[in-house]
Amino acid sequence: MTRFRQTITLATFVAAVASIASFTPAPTVAAQGANPVYRPEISYPLMHDVSRPLRLVAPIPPRMGRFEKPLRLPNIHHVNGTDTAVQTSSGPQVAATAGVGMEGVGLGNGYGVNAAPPDTNGSVGATQYVQWVNEGFAIFNKTTGAQVYPATGAAAGNTLFAGFGGPCETSNDGDPIVLYDKAAGRWIMTQFAVSSAPYLQCIAVSQTSDATGAWNRYSYSFGTGFNDYPKFGVWPDAYYASYNIFANGSSFAGAKACAYNRTAMMAGAAAPTQVCFATSTAYGGLLPSDLDGPTPPAAGSPNYFLNFGSNSLNLWKFHVDWSNTANSTFTGPVSLPVASFTTANNVPQAGTTQRLDSLSDRLMYRLAYRNIGGHDTLLVNHSVAVVTLSTRNRKSTIAAVRWYELRGTSGNFSVYQQGTFAPDSNHRWMGSIAMDKVGNIALGYSKSSNAMNPAIFYTGRAPGDALGTMQAEAQLKQGAGSQTTGLSRWGDYSSLSVDPVDDCTMWYTTEYIAANGTFNWHTAINSIKFPTCN
């Protein structure tokens, strides 16, 4: 999430800073700086060790009284336009049905909420579901829903770095991401340490598929460039990441894309290389692609990064060369034209004038990749504004979810289908999207209005449905309250992940409010599955 905390704890740390709806027209090089040349920045971890098994580590309780304010992306190059991809009705009830449902980290499981927004995300593994929010994580048995670690509430994120030393151990600054490396049966958990410069990214890779076991731990420095809003993706040759960099913690300096040596980190090597490329202030909010399913991309395939521009998606290709890192390349962006859209305004709620941030200045996590049917597929979504007519024929503007499916071969992508899901006058935003092994697509999101407390919904589509359309939505959780008292932040992201065991079941997590108030959010974890996937 984009912000500095208003209350921070300074930590002293002395170390060397690392060196600094149908096919669309053919893509073109993006307008902002044709054929830019990106130079690799190569560095190594400041610290490394191997942890004790997490199950033997006493969970650190998250600290109280933390507040946040956002750092926005000031240079979003977008010209609002009339949305020509709006879906104002939907088909039959979504075929996917809900399965396991459990209360996630928040007031509902005994966690004393101390920050907002929660940055809710999680991932499903072989036997566990791991959820990490601001500023604590928990591990669940995915079959029974029982919480495995800690017994109740949440362990502060820096519990994962107990005994590590430096700010990764002493700070618990959030913006967490947890992913499951399906091919390797490993977990990746990461958050930043940004209470003072040098700003760090703290990364842990599990030694087995059991998240309560031992972890290989690393810290990487970004010097005086605040590494905000980190997003990660798993790829065969690396763990890829994107950051919004703020020079000296305040001035936007553009997005940065990084690769981490996956093989070396899984082996617990002392100095896995970090290779980064800096863009410019013209670009922010990039997402790296994250691999779903058992079929990897073609050998040597680059990782794909995406953001949106002016009625377009911008695509980069990141190829890392671990034998000679200086030969690594980051090329693009290529502009993929999409249907016009307008960025969304903030979202109303029942019983309060307080509105919620739609965070429509960026794509929503994840950029889900799948190799299916002889082609590469990328799925992503973001929040847009749609003009509707009320029952009295009055115009109003609602937030809606714009989603895309890109298809390509040999790295050449085009927009296969796109849609803006706005079936009625309610607001929908903060989505996450994924595909199962037979091509069914699920989309989870938040839903709210002047007459409705924020709730958790999902929709989806089967491969045979009309292009650009979703089926009728279904509810996962209805909130009983709204967020009040001057707090607009919601999200800043949610997460839909695909079960590695059956490659069918999809797990969605996001926040809701159980009673009117501030800093009192709950989170929910739910599984959904299409009956045609077995």
- Each residue's pLDDT tens digit in the chain (534 positions)? 443 333 223 233 333 333 333 333 444 444 444 568 899 999 999 999 999 999 999 999 987 656 665 577 776 667 788 899 999 777 899 999 999 999 999 999 999 898 899 999 999 999 999 999 999 999 999 999 999 999 999 999 999 999 999 999 999 999 999 999 999 999 999 999 999 999 999 999 999 999 999 999 999 999 999 999 999 999 999 999 999 999 998 899 999 999 999 999 999 999 999 999 999 999 999 999 999 999 999 999 999 999 999 999 999 999 999 999 999 999 999 999 999 999 999 999 999 999 999 999 999 999 999 999 999 999 999 999 999 866 566 788 999 999 999 999 999 999 999 999 999 999 999 999 999 999 999 999 999 999 999 999 999 999 999 999 999 999 999 999 999 988 999 999 999 999 999 999 999 999 999 999 999 999 999 999 999 999
Helix, strand, or coil (residue 262): helix
What is the C-alpha to C-alpha distance for residues 275 and 265, in angstroms, rounded to an integer?
A: 14
Q: Are 153 and 142 in contact (CB under 8 A)?
A: no
User: How distant, in Å, are the alpha carbons of 12, 40, 192, 196, 281 from that of 247?
Assistant: 20, 18, 16, 13, 11
Cα 414-418-421 angle, rounded to 5 deg: 165
On the 0-12 / 13-18 / 19+ scale of CB atoms within 10 A, 110 is middle
Positive or negative, the Cα torsion across 19, 329, 254, 48? Answer: negative
Note the pLDDT of residue 70. Answer: 59
Structure tokens at 447: 């839903």
Q: Is 195 left (phi over 0), alpha (psi -120 to 50) or beta?
A: alpha
Radius of gyration of the chain (CA): 21
Helix, strand, or coil (residue 2): coil
Q: Are 360 and 48 in contact (CB under 8 A)?
A: no
Q: What count of Cα atoms within 13 Å lies in the side-chain half-sphere of residue 142?
A: 24
Helices marked H in 254-329:
262-267
What is the C-alpha to C-alpha distance for residues 136 and 59, in angstroms, rounded to an integer?
A: 10
Structure tokens at 380: 């992503």
Segments making up each domain of the chain, as ranges = 27-529
Structure tokens at 358: 């739609």
Note the pLDDT of residue 91. Answer: 81
Q: What count of Cα atoms within 13 Å lies in the side-chain half-sphere of residue 344?
A: 28
Structure tokens at 117: 């927004």
Q: Are 273 and 263 in contact (CB under 8 A)?
A: no
pTM of the model: 0.93
Note the pLDDT of residue 89. Answer: 79
DSSP-assigned letters across all residues of 57-104: SPPPPPPS---EE----TT--------S-EE-S--SBPS-EEEEEEE-
Distance of CA 153 to the CA centre of its chain: 23
What is the C-alpha to C-alpha distance for residues 121 and 131, in angstroms, rounded to an integer?
A: 6
Count of all residues that appear for the chain in the document: 534
DSSP-assigned letters across all residues of 469-497: ---B-EEEEE-S--B-TT-----S--EEE
Q: Are 468 and 443 in contact (CB under 8 A)?
A: no
